[in-house]
Amino acid sequence: MHDLVIAGAQVFDGLGNAPQSADLAVKDGRIVAIGKITDAAKERLNADGLALAPGIVDLHTHYDAQVTWDPTLSPSPSLGVTTAVMGNCGFGIAPCPPAMRETLLRNLSVVEGMELDALQAGTRWEFQSFREFIGLVRKQRPYINTAVFAQHSTIRSVVMGAEASTRAEATPAEMDTMKRAVRDAMDAGAIGFASSFSPNHSGWGGLPMPSCMATDAELESLVGVLGEVGRGVFMMATGPRATPQFMEGMAKKTKRPMFISTALTMYNEAAPERAMTYYDYCAGALARGNEVYIQTTCQPLSFTFDLLDPYILYSHDAFDRMRQCKPAELRAVYSNASFREAFRANLAKPKAGIIFYGNWNLIEIAATTRTENTKYEGKTVGAAAREADKDPLDFFFDLALSDALGTTYVGKFFQNNDKAVAPLISHPAGVITLSDAGAHLKFLCDAGFGLYLLGHWVREQGVFTLQEGIRRLTSDPAKKYRIPDRGYLQVGAHADLLLFDPQTVGISKSIRVGDLPAGGSRLIRKPTGVKGVWVNGTQVFDGNDYPKLAAGPGQLLDKFLQ
- Top pLDDT among 325 and 376 is at 376
Q: Is 556 a residue whose pLDDT tops 90? A: yes
For 106-138, how does the pLDDT look when each residue is reduced to its tens digit (9 = 90+)? 999 988 888 999 999 999 999 999 999 999 999
Give residue 52's pLDDT.
98
Closest Cα partner for 505 from 524, 523, 475, 526?
526
Q: Are 260 and 292 in contact (CB under 8 A)?
A: yes
In which band, very low, low, confident or very high, does the pLDDT at 236 lie, cut at 50, 70 and 90? very high
Give residue 164's pLDDT.
97
For 8-49, how does the pLDDT look when each residue is reduced to its tens digit (9 = 90+)? 999 999 999 999 999 999 999 999 999 999 999 999 999 999
Give residue 407's pLDDT.
95
Give residue 89's pLDDT.
97
Which of helix, strand or coil describes residue 292? strand
Closest Cα partner for 516 from 441, 463, 457?
441
Q: Are 499 and 533 in contact (CB under 8 A)?
A: yes
Domain 56-302+415-485 fold is TIM Barrel (3.20.20)
Query: What ranges do the domains of the chain cover?
Result: 56-302+415-485, 304-412
In which band, very low, low, confident or very high, does the pLDDT at 69 lie, cut at 50, 70 and 90? very high
Give residue 494's pLDDT.
98
Q: What proportion of the chain, given as a percentage, has pLDDT over 70?
A: 100
Q: Are 213 and 174 in contact (CB under 8 A)?
A: no
Which of helix, strand or coil describes residue 322? helix
- Top pLDDT among 442 and 186 is at 186
In which band, very low, low, confident or very high, does the pLDDT at 312 lie, cut at 50, 70 and 90? confident
DSSP structural state of residue 209 = P
Burial of 558 (0-12, 13-18, 19+ CB in 10 A): middle
Q: Is 268 a residue whose pLDDT tops 80? A: yes
386 CB-near residues (< 8 Å, 6+ apart): none
Q: Is 72 a residue whose pLDDT tops 80? A: yes
DSSP structural state of residue 278 = H
For 155-172, how does the pLDDT look when each residue is reduced to its tens digit (9 = 90+)? 999 999 999 999 999 999
Give residue 160's pLDDT.
97
Q: Is 324 a residue whose pLDDT tops 90? A: no
In which band, very low, low, confident or very high, does the pLDDT at 311 lie, cut at 50, 70 and 90? confident
Q: Is 351 a residue whose pLDDT tops 90? A: no
In which band, very low, low, confident or very high, does the pLDDT at 366 lie, cut at 50, 70 and 90? confident
Mean pLDDT taken over the chain: 95
Q: Is 196 a residue whose pLDDT tops 90? A: yes
Q: Rg (Cα) of the chain, in Å, rounded? A: 23
Closest Cα partner for 200 from 115, 273, 264?
264
